[in-house]
Amino acid sequence: MIDELLAYAGIDDDYADAFGRRADVSVETKLAILNALGYDVSDDASAARVLRDARVADGLHSLKPVYVVREGDARSWPDPVAHILDPDTEPGYYDLEIGEDTSRAIVAPRQAYVAPGVDRARVWGASAQLYALRSKTNWGIGDFGDLQALVALTRQNGGSLIGLNPLHQLHLTNPSAASPYAPLSRRYLNALYIDVAAAAREFGVSVDDRAAAALRASEFVDYAGVARAKLAALEQIFDAIRVDRELDAFSAREPDVRAAAVYEAIMEVFSQRDPSIRTWLQWPAELRDQQSNAVRVFAQAHERRIAFYMFLQWLADRQLAGAADVASGMAIGLYRDLAVGVDLASVDVWSDPDAYALGLSVGAPPDPLNPAGQNWGLPPLHPRALVARAYDPFIALLRANMRHAGALRIDHVMGLRRLFCIPRERPAGGGAYVKYDFEAMLGIVALESHLHRCMVIGEDLGTVPEGFRERLAPERIFSCRVLLFERDETSFRPPSEYPADSVASTGTHDLPTLTGWWRGADIETRERLGWIDAQAAREEQDERKRSRAALVRALRDAGCLGEEEEPDEHTVLLAAHGFLARAGSRVVLVQLEDLLAQREQVNVPGTTTEEPNWTRKLALPIDAFETNDTFAAILRIMREERPLNREVVA
């Protein structure tokens, strides 16, 4: 019986790590995962069916009409759901009442949405860590006003999109927990990105901005200082405007935002009483249940504070919409990022714990960056809860992150098919893959992409199952192709071999910048952290020398670099962007760190306080970008190789 239950729960017997080594999953691990999932076959009936191949018409919109079927008719059909929805049924969500039973049919297109401009031409854009932007007006952290400026600059130079780090809500009472990939909520926005100066001007409020200059001048983002200064100023604005019809409309349109605001208010009260309280798991037991009477009583007593936190979300959404408006003439516009998971100590988990497998943590088997495996500390969405709730938690995530976006990057897109789940308190390597209904998840992604006219990019890097990229290709979910990974042991893949439905880039936030890679800075970092000894570092630097030579050969073969003497790093940086600009990929993203030839990478995986992750600012303010020779030269390459008016044959 146990083997059948394991198979039913979708727990794999073994797995292959990034090195191709197979590992058997122990019986103890399987049982621990089963226990965490709480599987009982009797209550795992499907509450939703996903049907594919629907035709997509103009003006697609989300409705949930109810079809009522007489019970006698239902008994005569072998499959009532499939029978009632003919091939011409418009894509959407349909609640079906069949006798006394209710089921949902999700009618989805075969492919995700692709912007017409992307199908007609090869486009490019810039990718940015929003917090890293410098300007003369921000308060020590990049904000939505800076985003508008970056969009305008990129658009003026012929770019078609701005790629962004996750904009997810972070911990206002613990602002130094700054990783956008372990957020407080994946459904709401980081209030620290609000442009306070713009909000003060709009509402005619004078705010205390004395701290702003010092915060702007700091080398790294001082999250605690930014939070203190911005929240105080935003309270001044909130006190001045009191009531706003648009705010009321937002609250009515986004009813779940109140739960997030209640969470923030409770956390504020308890963290002020005891600064060691950082999560809801430390609250009194009666407040850990969002539906409890104690939470209702607290909310009644703190209504005004809850309104303030709702105001922050309204203002953040309003300013993000403003940036999207500036980008509205671009082929794609804003390219947002959906993190693979949410912090265990998050508002998402507190407000809906049943949606998560709280006894498990998402991670990855051993890979070159982490030979012992990775444990990200993020509880996965519960596969059984998704099915039982007709995928509503997943749909809500997609909708929140496709809002104001022309493209959405799904972090670790392999999670639509399976996630490496580790029972809590076990080592990173002591996990197993747990399956999700891949076809259903793909169908929902395709449907929501059309409803929002939002392209989908799947971050398919790391340990990728065999055949996975080939399965995503017909879905029009774009692949990620990173220059440093597109190679074998001896050579780099030529630009012509990059697939059309892909986003090409020099690297990612977890990889060294191109300048840093060329100098071997990442190897130096690993030696400094004690991950490798001096001998191993020398061996890796020797291998890096061979990799540099292979890259130079590829650049010369592609006609991006002449046959002159050994080029310097500046020449290679320009040639590499010319190489990517010629790639077959429909979309190319250039990283701002590379545009400014910066050495240090954004994030060093496997570190927390050892490295200044998620705090590094860019070397120059936005208004000085075009004065930088490297920035100007790379943008000139992109304009020449990927002009806006050049159409291509698919």
What's phi and psi for 126, nearest 5 deg?
-110, 145
Supply the pLDDT for residue 33. 79
How many Å apart are CA 620 and CA 509, to the nearest integer? 19
The answer to whether 260 touches 188, Cβ cutoff 8 Å, is: yes
Supply the pLDDT for residue 316. 97
Q: What is the DSSP string of 551-568?
A: HHHHHHHTTSS-SSSPP-
| Cα angle: 213, vertex 215, 220; to 5 degrees | 140
Supply the pLDDT for residue 526. 93
Q: Give the amino acid at 188.
A: Y
How many Å apart are CA 138 and CA 520, to the nearest integer? 33
Q: How far is CA 247 from the centre of its chain?
A: 27
What is the tens place of the pLDDT at every residue in 68-106? 333 333 333 344 445 455 556 678 887 776 666 677 788
3-state secondary structure of 24: strand
Structure tokens at 548: 């540099």
The answer to whether 188 touches 251, Cβ cutoff 8 Å, is: no
Count the Cβ atoms, other than its own, within 10 Å of residue 299: 17
- The β-bridge relationship of strands 101-107 and 48-51 is parallel
The answer to whether 598 touches 515, Cβ cutoff 8 Å, is: yes
Distances (CA, A) of 23 to 366, 371, 419, 430: 10, 13, 16, 10
The answer to whether 502 touches 585, Cβ cutoff 8 Å, is: yes
Supply the pLDDT for residue 301. 96
The answer to whether 483 touches 505, Cβ cutoff 8 Å, is: yes
So what's the architecture of 116-338+466-641 in CATH?
A: Alpha-Beta Barrel (3.20)
Structure tokens at 102: 């209710």
How many Å apart are CA 246 and CA 283, to the nearest integer? 33
Widest CA span of the chain, in angstroms? 83
Structure tokens at 415: 């999670």
How many Å apart are CA 405 and CA 327, to the nearest integer? 9
Structure tokens at 424: 């809590």
How many Å apart are CA 462 and CA 364, to the nearest integer? 9
Q: Where are the alpha helices (DSSP H) in 327-365?
A: 347-351
Hey, where are the domains in the chain? 116-338+466-641
What's phi and psi for 191, nearest 5 deg?
-65, -20
Distances (CA, A) of 257 to 66, 169, 280, 311, 484: 27, 11, 17, 10, 41
Segments in the chain below pLDDT 50: 1, 41-45, 57-81, 83, 649-650
Residue 260: CA atoms inside 13 Å, Cβ hemisphere, count?
27
